[in-house]
Amino acid sequence: EKPVLFKQELQNEEAKEGKQVRLTCELSKPGTPVKWMKGDTVLHASEKYEIKQQGTVAELIIRDVKSVDA
């Protein structure tokens, strides 16, 4: 079985404090589970984080961005 690769790497995004930011990556194989992390911490869906995945595209939306989210 072929390894899963990034077709589109994660890009740096800028957002104003209090707004939201969307981080997107695209994988070579649809339905591959994606784990979003900040350092060693795994991020889970919550009021702060919205995690979406459709086909090969995975998205993380961070709401109410603060400087600690950098």
Domain extents in the chain: 6-69
Please give the pLDDT value at position 9: 84
Cβ neighbours of residue 4 closer than 8 Å, sequence gap 6 or more = 27, 28, 29, 32
The CA angle 63-38-1, to the nearest 5 degrees, is 110
Please give the pLDDT value at position 1: 75
Determine the Cα–Cα distance for residues 39 and 30; give it in Å rounded to an integer. Answer: 25
Assess if CATH 2.60.40.10 describes domain 6-69.
yes
pLDDT digit string, tens, across residues 2-45: 889 889 888 889 899 999 999 999 999 998 899 999 999 999 99
